[in-house]
Amino acid sequence: MPEAVGPMKARRMLSPDQLADFLASLDVKETLVYAVFSRLREGALPAEDESLFVKQELRCSKLKLRPITLKGGIQLQAEFQFGPRTFHQQYPLTPDAPPLAKGLRDFSEGTIFTNRGDYQFYWTSADLCRITERAPTKARESLAHNRQKSYLLAEGEPIPFLVELGVMDTSGRVYPKKYDKFRQINKYLEFVEDALRRFPQEKPLYIVDFGSGKAYLTFALYHYLSARGYTDVLVTGLDLKEDVVAFCNETARRLRYEHLQFQVGDIANFHIDEGTGAAAHRPDMIISLHACDIATDAALVKALQWGSPVILAVPCCQHEFFHQLTFPAMESILRYGVTRDKQATLVTDASRALMLRAFGYSVEMVEFITMEHTPKNVLIRAYREDALREISARAESAREGSAHAESAQEGSARGVVSAGEVSPPVKTPQGLSSQEGIPEKRTILRVSDPGYRAYRDFLDTWGVGRTYLELELTRVGLLKES
């Protein structure tokens, strides 16, 4: 039944044709606080491919709406519940926004809360929408506050992996001592969401998380992918601690996360098991969160070996450059251990960004989570644009080939055959080779290349000699003298 609301002010019966005018009268852009719809009406839905409320033969059981502030301005955030999965989507906040207008038409009951009144609706057997207006029970919070609280993983409903990992209780309440972790997980998923927009929805995804630890973020990633309908996914977490890996594998088993696996090992010696589906293609995304010191560099080398299109790295304690830094103009900073350590971190991360740029990645360094939660808060986000364009082109070619084949099949069924008509081949990317069964997109960097010279000149300025990153790239054959 609809949520309980305040004292009744008015009641009206509206036909389907009158709903648009009713929504326009609410002035939702200025007044909407929250809305919840439940119980899809029988026979009210169009075909699956035309409906917001049917996905993979699952019917939406609940729809929640609220205004949020994004970079583009005020938006309407819709949360669709399909069985155990929740999907989020943003729309312009207008009376004819699809989830609002269609939700009122297609759900049997619900309530629209505004700061002027609460509107409880119920569809009768006579195909009339009975709307009861009551005094407002909710007030719109400031949009800035609303934005701050707009988490991809919402509090209030239990999320299985967060319950298993002790972040949330079985009623969906986040434990006070775990709220920083809850914020960190949500911030991480925002970056993941942005990266996933670069891939075609139908593309199989293989993601490797180096230094996964207790794997809060690895489990969050898998949950996010599953909730958003990615079915062809494999996620591998790697860590050195056997007991931690055993715990994570057991937790994944209890959660029935069939395509999430954890392995024991160090990053530099990691090889993909040819017996898994991952052996068919290179990793699409390399994640390295809080891998200590040069372990971050080992992760970057693996990503460069595979030509992985996306890299997300949050470096941790960084010691390699600490004792090497010399820069007369910066002596006042380098004199003290605490400021030297901060400067070594900045130089290390800046040099990593230069090396990634030299290999053709576009690179950003952004704040991962605020300093009040952790001092290790710089995220290196790198995209290999040529690889991403190549993936999109292959997906488009495959779609065209599928459409062509379907068209030819239909023509054959009608007895129409076009001479020489064949499906266009899917283009094979250039530069793909196989090593240990894993396709690679190798780019060889030479010491004379401008990108590498920029890297080396920057470190020479700070008195830093040959780095672990350079040595590893040389060892695997990605950095050569000539």
pLDDT digits (tens, 9 = 90+) for 30-70: 899 999 998 888 776 655 545 788 887 788 888 999 998 87
Cα–Cα distance, 452 to 170 (Å, whole number)? 52
Residue-averaged pLDDT of the chain? 82
The CA-CA-CA angle for residues 306, 310, 316, to 5°, reads 95
- Two tokens at 284? 């699409």
Q: What confidence score (pLDDT) does residue 263 get? A: 94
Q: CB neighbours of 370 closer than 8 A, spacing ≥ 6?
A: 377
Q: What is the band of 393 on the pLDDT scale with cuts at 50, 70, 90?
A: confident
Q: Which residue has the tokens 């670069």?
A: 198
Read off the pLDDT of residues 169-225 as tens digits, 9 standing for 90 and up. 998 899 988 988 898 898 888 888 888 878 876 788 999 999 998 899 999 999 988
- Two tokens at 98? 């699809």
Crossing angle of helices 295-306 and 337-358, in 10° steps, is 10
Q: CB neighbours of 453 closer than 8 A, spacing ≥ 6?
A: 447
Q: Which residue has the higher pLDDT, 415 or 142?
A: 142
Distance, CA of 381 to chain centre: 13
Q: CB neighbours of 389 closer than 8 A, spacing ≥ 6?
A: none
Q: What are the b/e assignments for 257-266, b being 16+ CB within 10 Å? A: bebbbbbeee
Residue at 115: amino acid letter: N
CA-closest candidate to residue 347, choices 362, 361, 333, 358: 333
Residues 142 and 115: beta-carbon distance below 8 Å: no
Q: What is the band of 401 on the pLDDT scale with cuts at 50, 70, 90?
A: low
Residues 111 and 121: beta-carbon distance below 8 Å: yes
Q: What is the band of 435 on the pLDDT scale with cuts at 50, 70, 90?
A: very low
Q: CB neighbours of 228 closer than 8 A, spacing ≥ 6?
A: 85, 87, 196
Q: CB neighbours of 195 closer than 8 A, spacing ≥ 6?
A: 285, 310, 312, 381, 383
Global model pTM greater than 0.95: no
CA-closest candidate to residue 160, choices 88, 260, 70, 69: 260
Q: What mean pLDDT do residues 393-403 have?
A: 66
